[in-house]
Structure 1
Amino acid sequence: MKAFKPKHQRLLLVIVALIALIGAALLAIYALRNQASYFYLPEQMRDDPPAAGQAVRLGGMVEPGSLKTQADGVTIDFMVTGRDASRIPVRYAGIVPDLFVEGSGVVAEGALNPDGVFVADNLLAKHDENYVPRELEGMSEHQAARMAEETTVGLE
């Protein structure tokens, strides 16, 4: 059997490298298939709920008047509403973010349990484009810029 010419050796090496790369990509996709966290709006979750226990994200608004703290002081129950008044009950045990209030936006990461309650493992509070940190409330734009400048002087 004759040895391959250098040109054919390079071609064979490129083909083997491509096959290995494609194989690695397919293995990564296969391994991560259950790690994907799909995003649902309340109306989507109502119409086509995910399988019980499947990790998903639920995004919407915290319904005013729905926030209830359980007797343990750590667990809260509330409703997430959508555009068409869809309501999904949510239960979360843990420390809530500072920006989490009734009427604000929220993204809850967790899973729907068989009785239709979304059990959140993590809450992400959203704020609108008019958000101002507590430290800067009541300041003019000029005063806020000066304060920001003063706090970064020592960092350079």
Structure 2
Amino acid sequence: MTRKQRRLTLIGIAGGILAIALGLVLYAMNDTIVFFNSPADIQAKNVRPGTRLRLGGLVKEGTVQRGTDQQITFEVMDAHGAIQVRYRGLLPDLFREGQGVVAEGVLESATVFRADSVLAKHDENYMPREVADTLKKQGHWQGEANAAPKTQ
């Protein structure tokens, strides 16, 4: 074997090992690359309690309840389900019922989600692209005819 052939063989083996490592990393991250999960996704996937994830959807009308010590509970819904969210802290100024939100936190049970942070839209035309696409696919949100979902 010549020196050039050994060098090419070594480069080929190193490239193969890197490709396998990259494939394993991407496979391990397959379920965590999602920007958010809708209530229907969480119920369909049978996500285990204690799992950290993002929950996205619309705040259900009439479910926002403010308790003592900045404790807030509300429901996030999509066309096929709803999950109660418990959050302690200050909500964004633009948080309202019937509006798209993304909450990040831990699933406590199949129907209760404890949020660490809550994100809301920033103006009257904005809805996160992922939320808008999911709601459009389910036939639950059409948006304004002249306003396309914006990105940040």
Q: TM-score, normalised by structure 1?
A: 0.65
Q: 2:73 aligns to what?
A: 77
Secondary structure at 1:10 match in 2 = helix
Q: 1:56 aligns to what?
A: 53
Preserved CA contact (<8 Å) 1:79 1:89: yes
Give the counterpart letter for 2:103 in structure 1.
A
In the superposition, relative to structure 1, how do residues 69 and 94 fare at CA in structure 2: closer, same or farther (>3 Å)?
Answer: same
Give the counterpart of 2:109 among 108, 111, 114: 114
- Higher-Rg member (1/2): 1
CA RMSD of aligned residues (A): 2.7
What's the % identity of the aligned pairs? 42
Preserved CA contact (<8 Å) 1:65 1:102: yes
After the TM superposition, which segments of 4 or more aligned residues of structure 1 sit over 3 Å from their partners? 26-30, 32-35, 46-49
Larger helix fraction of residues: 1
In the superposition, relative to structure 1, how do residues 27 and 67 fare at CA in structure 2: closer, same or farther (>3 Å)?
Answer: same
Aligned residue pairs, count: 125
In the superposition, relative to structure 1, how do residues 56 and 130 fare at CA in structure 2: closer, same or farther (>3 Å)?
Answer: same
Structure 2: gaps of 5 or more residues: 127-152
Preserved CA contact (<8 Å) 1:55 1:110: yes
Aligned-pair CA distance for 1:125? 0.9
Structure 1: gaps of 5 or more residues: 132-156
For 2:106 and 2:30, locate their aligned partners in 1 and report how far apart those are by CA, in whole Å.
Answer: 13
Q: TM-score, normalised by structure 2?
A: 0.66
